[in-house]
Amino acid sequence: MISELAYIHPEAKIGKDVKIGPFAVINKNVIIGDNCIIDSNATICEFTQLGNNCHVFPSAVIGAIPQDLKFRGEVTWTIIGDNCMLREFVTVHRGTASKGKTVIGNNNLIMAYCHVAHDCILHNNIIMSNATQLAGEVEVDDFAIIGGGSLVHQFTHIGGHVMVQGGSKVNKDIPPFAIAAREPIAFCGINSVGLNRRGFTPEQIHTIQEVYRLIYNSGMNTSQALIQVEATVPASPERDMILNFVKSSPRGIIKG
């Protein structure tokens, strides 16, 4: 299960039924959960924790120190949940003093050549397509899909159930359930295909459409539109998710 050609620091904690390929490197202060696969030439750096059933593909580097000149060697972590797949040449950097950790949740697919920078927070069931690059302190919510080759500016927030077109330059927050595309990036409707696949009802999808009609197509500014949404759209988890996201966005949301 563990190649004799792998290097594993004696203080690393390795779970049950873990497979480690030749020339993989597992450093000190690493915790690897049960049933993980660490392929050949992958490197798991110090202060990294992997959950159960994760697969790290060849030449990925997980938990390297951040590319941040403010970093002074403080103890920070990279924390990855269960059932994550980190493909070839993925790089994930640990946190800085800002948040103290970079977090990737459960059931995430990070495709080849992607980069997750320091202090990013990725929630669950996310797909990052090939060569997507997240700058520092980006947050990505559940079920978001980011198309290949996208560049995401630092401190940006990508909402849940979002679909981002490949090759996008994301410099504003993308609210939940949206499709984001074009150049410059803009709101292009709601991710109705993804919502249908995930079991959203026609009534829920209609509510989301009505909220975004007021935000993007009513001719009102964002503040006025939010007041109108609260006054005319019945409260629901979907309505409130959008309202709370937009109200708490320091960068502002993408334009329509």
**What are the residue numbers of the active site?**
118-119, 136
- What CA–CA distance (Å, rounded) separates 122 from 108? 9
Q: How many CB atoms lie within 10 A of CB 167?
A: 14
- What CA–CA distance (Å, rounded) separates 47 from 56? 16
DSSP bridge pairs for 31:
13, 49
Determine contact, residues 101/75, Cβ cutoff 8 Å: no
Residue holding tokens 């060569």?
131
Element housing 89 (H / E): none
**Phi, psi of 145, rounded to the nearest 5 degrees:** -125, 125
In the three-class reduction of DSSP (H, G, I as helix; E, B as strand; rest coil), residue 196 is classed as helix
- What CA–CA distance (Å, rounded) separates 152 from 103? 17
- What CA–CA distance (Å, rounded) separates 145 from 159? 10
Determine contact, residues 57/76, Cβ cutoff 8 Å: no
Q: What type of residue sits at position 33?
A: G
